[in-house]
Structure 1
């Protein structure tokens, strides 16, 4: 009886470890369209936290959030860090996050790729869709 209980307990421990590894995402896909500074900031904070956990981060900026990708465009600072979403976005790029603007942003804002911050490119819809459908990534949208 004790041997059977020990085998059952060992199996349970091993299966729990296997399940927890299956639930560990390879990375995070973050879609940001919000105009609100606090909402943009939360997207950047969570992206930063994912990078700190050694996860890949892919950020796609669309609509009003695309302004974060433009040189010279300001974003308001927020407490308690006294930083802006744009400051955190630049930090994400330096830490290896892949940041893109959706392909509709630039032509509809009467801009071209020359206005984008260094490290930001124009997204290819097929690649973004493939990342969003990849089971190894979690998706969040703001």
Structure 2
């Protein structure tokens, strides 16, 4: 009991008990299947290590957000980048396409997988400026 109280007091003083998860934004614009796959593998790994991951898909990478997204399966696990995106979403990642994607591809919001929206530049800009947020671009 005494050890538990000491641990709780130490956690409260150091902020460990109330620590927010690390916020990470993965910006993916590459059309390369391997680059897309590696970005999604790392996004999933960061989630498994406790991060809150936001994924911004731009340019050709926006195609991963489409309901009919397919793609080439990558070794060694024989999964596509779109399937890796789906796995991240199921674990709580948030994903959006850049604000330019839909109007410049002729797609509509209905073309996107459930839960994926078009990013609002003001909100995305504010998120990218958050002091504790890590931003990783592929």
- The TM-score, its normalising length taken from structure 2, stands at 0.83
Pairing 1:91–2:83 present: no
Pairing 1:26–2:17 present: no
The structure number with the bigger radius of gyration is 1
Q: Residue 45 of structure 1 corresponds to which residue in structure 2?
A: 41
CA contact 1:62–1:101 (8 Å) conserved in 2: yes
Q: How many residues align?
A: 120
Is there any run of 5+ residues in structure 1 with no aligned partner, and where?
1-17, 19-23
Q: CA deviation at 1:25?
A: 7.1
Pairing 1:103–2:73 present: no
Q: Deviations over 1:115-136 (max 9, x none)?
A: 0001101101111111111121
Runs of 4+ in structure 1 deviating by more than 3 angstroms, as ranges, are none
CA contact 1:27–1:50 (8 Å) conserved in 2: no
Partner Cα separation in structure 2 for residue 91 and residue 119 of structure 1: 13
Is there any run of 5+ residues in structure 2 with no aligned partner, and where?
1-13, 15-19
After superposing the two structures, state which structure 1 stretch, 24-33 or 103-112, moved more: 24-33
DSSP-derived class of the 2:25 partner: strand
DSSP-derived class of the 1:90 partner: helix
Pairing 1:116–2:112 present: yes
What's the RMSD between the two structures over aligned residues? Answer: 1.4
Higher helix proportion (structure 1 or 2) = 1
- The TM-score, its normalising length taken from structure 1, stands at 0.81
CA contact 1:25–1:136 (8 Å) conserved in 2: no
